[in-house]
A and B are shown apart, each in its own frame.
Chain A
């Protein structure tokens, strides 16, 4: 019965080993999708390349379907799966900061490590900027604390707040994702870019 770690079916060290292996797999998928090119990543904002949208949303839908089916078969207890707590103000402000950084730098945190790993200078600069931001935030935490902890909503699920069952919301999300992929493909044709 999952999840494995909260139910103590695997030890903490095995948990870390799995995390390590999953990290390697994640890096492999990012690199093989071409995510170490900052022009490819920033393409979603300009319309000529929607690979980011497709890869991450496909990953999210696969994970969601997998969890829902495993819960259906009784292989996992969804109440024990960790859900990040929702701090609404932090989420919005953080999203804006991250989005601005993504467009300007052409990387997001995970892909910047992919780029740095294959020797791209802009990837390495992005990683340096990442650490500057983390340390800066930590040393000036007193200024941000109130903003950081504002609007704590617990761990709400969209399906619960809309009054739908998890499965029905999953179907809606799948249809929405496929629609977005279709629009993205239309945008790729409308805003083509020769070489990038």
Chain B
């Protein structure tokens, strides 16, 4: 048989098979279970609420907040400038570029620490770096930043410094004794804390 016909006879069926079969889109895990366990135990993926509040106020461009809760919860309240990647669709194609990159610092947060940490573990196993978890989640955020407790007079100075920072951060980010409901009023606004702080200060001054 002519070489060309022989080649065609062999290669065309291979081509038909490869055209008919759907593409293999699974993401292989790049880290072994042991490696992920080690990383989880060193707890280096956590960032404290103070650090994130500082970055938001200073408008640090490397920060990217990612809300891993469902869309309804995200729309009720979210941190300023946060985007929503629900845990259920964490592995979909559209978010791969956001989670797998080395330019921005992705801070995942949820109501507590659990959901965000799970999301971190999964993305870490795929080999993605630059993903972190907000320690304490939104619950701690409200307690510490938005409604900071004045330390007792016997506490060391640094506690007072922390309290002062948190109070001003909280006012800049829309806190100062407000509840979740009021804070959600500004969830839909753009990242302009200066304007909001001026407006909120009037209310806070009145309340306190």
Partner of B23, one of A73, A77, A165, A178: A165
In this complex, how many residues of chain A approach chain B with their Cβ under 8 Å: the count is 24
Q: Mark A74-103, 1 if CB is under 8 A from B, else 0.
A: 100100000000000000000000000000
Partner of A71, one of B14, B19, B23, B30: B23
Q: Which residues of B contact A113 (CB under 8 A)?
A: none
Please give the distance in Å from A68's CB to the nearest CB on chain B: 5
Q: Does B16 count as interface, using CB distance less than 8 angstroms?
A: yes
A178 to B14, CA, bound (A): 14
Q: Does B207 count as interface, using CB distance less than 8 angstroms?
A: no
Most chain A CB neighbours (cut-off 10 Å) among B12, B21, B22, B24: B24
Residue of B nearest to A67 (CB): B18
- Given known pairs A1-B28, A174-B12, the reply for A72 and B21 (CB within 8 Å) is yes
Partner of B18, one of A72, A77, A181, A185: A72
Interface positions, chain A 1-41, Cβ under 8 Å from B, are 1, 7
Partner of A77, one of B4, B19, B20, B28: B28
Q: Mark B1-42, 1 if CB is under 8 A from A, else 0.
A: 000100110011011101111111010101000000000000
Q: Does A124 count as interface, using CB distance less than 8 angstroms?
A: no
Q: Which residues of B contact A68 (CB under 8 A)?
A: 18
Q: Which residues of B contact A185 (CB under 8 A)?
A: 4
- A175 adjacent to B12 (CB under 8 Å): yes
Residue of B nearest to A73 (CB): B24
A109 to B30, CA, bound (A): 39
Q: Which residues of B contact A174 (CB under 8 A)?
A: 11-12, 14-15
A146 to B122, CA, bound (A): 43
- A170 adjacent to B18 (CB under 8 Å): yes
- B21 adjacent to A61 (CB under 8 Å): no
Q: Does A168 count as interface, using CB distance less than 8 angstroms?
A: yes
- A71 adjacent to B15 (CB under 8 Å): no
Interface positions, chain A 152-196, Cβ under 8 Å from B, are 165-168, 170-171, 174-175, 178, 181-182, 185
| Chain B residues touching A, range | 10 to 19
Q: Which residues of A contact B7 (CB under 8 A)?
A: 58, 178, 181
Q: Which residues of B contact A178 (CB under 8 A)?
A: 4, 7-8, 11-12
- B18 adjacent to A167 (CB under 8 Å): yes
Partner of B16, one of A1, A58, A165, A171: A171
Q: Does A65 count as interface, using CB distance less than 8 angstroms?
A: yes
- A170 adjacent to B23 (CB under 8 Å): no
Q: Which residues of A contact B24 (CB under 8 A)?
A: 71-74
Q: Which residues of A contact B26 (CB under 8 A)?
A: 74
Q: Knowing that A166-B23, A174-B15 touch, tell me 14 more A-B residue pairs with CB under 8 angstroms.
A: A1-B28, A61-B11, A65-B15, A65-B18, A69-B14, A72-B18, A72-B24, A74-B24, A167-B18, A167-B23, A174-B14, A175-B12, A178-B4, A181-B4
Name 27 A/B residue pairs within 8 A (Cβ), A-sorted.
A1-B28, A7-B30, A61-B11, A65-B11, A65-B14, A65-B15, A69-B14, A71-B24, A72-B21, A72-B24, A74-B24, A74-B28, A77-B28, A165-B19, A166-B23, A167-B18, A171-B15, A171-B19, A174-B11, A174-B14, A175-B15, A178-B4, A178-B8, A178-B12, A181-B4, A182-B4, A185-B4
Binding site for B on A (CB under 8 A): 1, 7, 58, 61, 65, 68-69, 71-74, 77, 165-168, 170-171, 174-175, 178, 181-182, 185
Binding site for A on B (CB under 8 A): 4, 7-8, 11-12, 14-16, 18-24, 26, 28, 30
